[in-house]
Copies of this chain bind each other. A is one copy, B any other.
C-alpha cells in the first residue's frame, strides 16, 4: 500500500502526463474534467512545463497542433461539446501525422446535455467525428490506475505511429478517487527529425495537410491507411474476464465494464456462466480476440451508456454468428448492478430453455 496514493481520475491524467514527459498542456475549461487543468496549472510550472488556458477548444487543439509540430509531447482535454469543436483540428493532426493525446471526459449529450457520465461519443472518437478517412487511437480506461497506464500508453503510441491518441473516459471515472501506483515507467521518447525546430544544419521542414493534386492526396491517404493497418495489426487491446467457460459474453468498456463486472460476480454466484469481454482499445477495435471469443459463447450481451454505438462494431465482428442483445442507458443515467445481473439472468434462462 505504501506506494499508493488516493487520486481523482482527472488528476491522475495530469500526473500521468507529466511522468510521460509531457510538458505542454493546452485546454479550455469544461465540466467534468476541471480537476485536470487545476492539477496541471499547479504542477506544470514545478517541472518547467507549460500550462496554457486557451481562449476556446478550437484554439486549444490548434495550439496542440503547433506544439506537436514543434516536436513536443502535448496534451489537451475537454468534454463532449468541446471535443466536437476540436474535430477539424483532430482531422488536421491525423492528416499531418502529428502525435498528441486528447482526453474526452465524456458527458451526456447531444447538445449541452448534462454533466453525468455517458459513452455516446464512441462513434465520434472511433469512426472519426472530423472529415476524411482517418482514425484516432482510442483507449478506454476503467479505473484511475488504468487512466494512468492509458495516458502513458497514449503518448507512446501516438509518438510511435505519429497519430493522435484519444483517452475516452467519463465524468464518473474522471472524478472518482481510487488508490493508484505510479510505478516506474520510462516514456518511449522518439527522435523527431521531421519537427519544426528551426532548420539549422538541415533542410527546412514543412508540416502540412494539404496535397492539392488529388494523386498526391490519394497517395497520402494510402500511406495513412497502411499505417492504420499496422496499428490494427499490433495494438488491439482487451481484457477477457471470466470468459474461459462462459456461455454468455458481456461486451462493455470503461465505467460500464465495471458495473458489468459486479453484475457478473452476482450472476456467477448464482452459477450462471457469464464473462466479460472488456474493450481496452476502442480503436483499433480488438476484433481478433473478440472474433475468437464469440465462437466460444452462446450469446453476446452488449452494454453501453448510449443508444447503441459500439454494438455496431461487435456486430461487424460477429457477422451473424451469434445472437446479440443490447442494454443501454442514456442522458447520464447508469444501469445498476442489479439491472445488468437481472438481464444476464434473463438471457441465461432463455438460453437454457432453448438448450433444454
Cβ-defined contact, B208 with A83, below 8 A: no
Given contacts A124-B131, A217-B114, A330-B222, contact A88 B84 (CB under 8 A): yes
Q: Which of A306-351 contact B (CB under 8 A)?
A: 306-307, 309, 312, 315-316, 319-321, 329-333
Number of interface residues of A (CB under 8 A): 68
Question: Shortest 10 CB-CB distances between A and B: which pairs?
Answer: A109-B132, A111-B209, A95-B111, A110-B132, A214-B332, A217-B331, A320-B320, A218-B331, A80-B131, A221-B330
A53-65 contact mask (Cβ, 8 Å, vs B): 1 or 0: 0000010000000
Flag whether A130 is at the interface (Cβ < 8 A): yes
Chain B contacts for A92, CB-based, 8 A:
81, 110-112
Q: 6 A-B contacts, Cβ less than 8 Å apart? A: A81-B91, A82-B88, A84-B88, A108-B221, A109-B132, A113-B210
Cβ-defined contact, A58 with B84, below 8 A: no
A348 to B294, CA, bound (A): 33
A211 to B113, CA, bound (A): 6
Given contacts A84-B130, A87-B85, A133-B307, contact A95 B110 (CB under 8 A): yes
Given contacts A123-B123, A307-B225, contact A131 B330 (CB under 8 A): no
Q: Which of A111, A212, A331 has the most CB of B within 10 A?
A: A111
Cβ-defined contact, A109 with B131, below 8 A: yes
A316 to B94, CA, bound (A): 27
A129-144 contact mask (Cβ, 8 Å, vs B): 1 or 0: 1111110000000000
Flag whether A219 is at the interface (Cβ < 8 A): yes
Given contacts A209-B111, A210-B111, A211-B113, contact A58 B85 (CB under 8 A): yes
Q: Which of A42-97 contact B (CB under 8 A)?
A: 58, 80-85, 87-88, 91-92, 94-96
Chain B contacts for A118, CB-based, 8 A:
132
Chain B contacts for A292, CB-based, 8 A:
none
Flag whether A160 is at the interface (Cβ < 8 A): no
A97-137 contact mask (Cβ, 8 Å, vs B): 1 or 0: 00000000010111111111010110110011111111000
Distance in Å: Cβ of A135 to nearest Cβ of chain B? 9
A98 to B56, CA, bound (A): 25
Chain B contacts for A133, CB-based, 8 A:
109-110, 120, 306-307, 309, 330
Cβ-defined contact, A84 with B80, below 8 A: no
Chain B contacts for A81, CB-based, 8 A:
88, 91-92, 131
A80 to B214, CA, bound (A): 15
Chain B contacts for A331, CB-based, 8 A:
211, 214-221
Partner of A113, one of B112, B217, B222: B217
